[in-house]
Amino acid sequence: MQRYFIDQVMEKDIPVQVSGADFHHMVRVMRMKAGDQVWLVDLNEKVAQAVIQEVLEDKVILAVSSFQEKTSEMPVEITVASGLPKGDKLDLVVQKGTELGATEFLLFQAERSVSKWDAKKVHKKIERLERIAKEAAEQSHRGRIPFLRYYSSLKALLESEGQSYDFVVCAYEESAKQGECSSLAQVFQDMPSGSRLLVIFGPEGGVSGQEVAELKGLEAIFAGLGPRILRTETAPLYLLSAASFYFELSGKSENE
C-alpha cells in the first residue's frame, strides 16, 4: 500500500483531506478511487490505515480505519552530518540514508569541500533534498521524514548542534588507516534506547586539521569504519547499516 505524510493530526472518527502534490499522486499517478486503501502518517508520527471515501476535483477525502502500533524507526536517533561532497552524491546519501533510518541530515561547508553552495540557492537545494527524503520515507515505510539543515562550516554546526546529542562520532580516515576498529562498536554498546548520536563525515578530502581540533574540543570520538577506506557517500550508509544490524537485528537494542 502507498504511504503518504500529511500536515495534520489524525483522529479515528474525523475525515482526512489530502490535496496538493499528494492528491495529484493518488489520483493522476496511482489512479486511486473510492474504496482504495493507503497508509497515512500525521504530524505526531502516528501511522494509520485509511480508506478513500471520495475523490473530488482538488482533494481526496479519507476515513481512518485503524492505527498501527508497530514502529519502523530505530530505537536510537542517528543524525548524519556530511561535509558537502561533489556532484549529486548528497542525493544518494539522503535517499539511501533515509531508507536506512537516519533521523536528520546536517550539511556543512567543510574546509576541504570542492562543492560550494551559493547562499542565495541554499533554500532551493534543501527543498530538493527534502523532496528526496520524503519520497524515500514513503517508499521505505518510515514513520517520519528526516529533517535537513545546512551550516556554513563545521564550527557553526557544532556550536549550534553539538550539545544536543548524547554521543558525537567522527568517521575518521586516519583512524581507519591506523587499524582502529572498536570505537564505533563501543559507542553502540554504550547507547541505551532513545539515545541521540551525531556522526560527522568529511567530504572527499576528509576533515581538516582545524576541524579535527574543533571536534576534539567537543570530545568527539574518532572511529574507523573497518579496514577499507570508504568514499564520502558510502561511509554514512555503512554506519547506518551497522547500526540497524546492531539495534534491530542482533537483539542488543538495550544495554546489557
Q: Tell me, what's the pLDDT at 255?
A: 45
Q: Tell me, what's the pLDDT at 253?
A: 53
Domain ranges of the chain: 3-68, 77-249
- How far is Cα 121 from Cα 74, in angstroms, rounded to an integer? 33
Q: Tell me, what's the pLDDT at 71?
A: 86
Q: Tell me, what's the pLDDT at 177?
A: 75
Residue 37 near residue 50 (C-beta atoms within 8 A): yes
Q: What are 8-56's pLDDT values in tens digits?
A: 899 888 999 999 999 999 999 999 999 999 999 999 889 999 999 999 9
Domain topology for 77-249: Alpha/beta knot (3.40.1280)
* Spans of the chain, pLDDT less than 70: 252-256
The order of strands in the sheet holding 77-83 is 147-151, 104-108, 77-83, 196-201, 167-171, 221-223
Torsion, Cα of 167, 208, 211, 207 (10° steps): -30
Q: Looking at domain 3-68, does it have CATH number 1.10.1200.10?
A: no
Among 199, 118, 120, CA closest to 154: 199
Among 79, 150, 154, CA closest to 110: 154
Please tell me if the domain spanning 3-68 has the same topology as the one spanning 77-249: no
- How far is Cα 94 from Cα 147, in angstroms, rounded to an integer? 10
Model pTM score: 0.87
Q: Tell me, what's the pLDDT at 217?
A: 92
The contacts of residue 17 (CB under 8 Å, 6+ apart) are 8, 59, 60, 61, 62
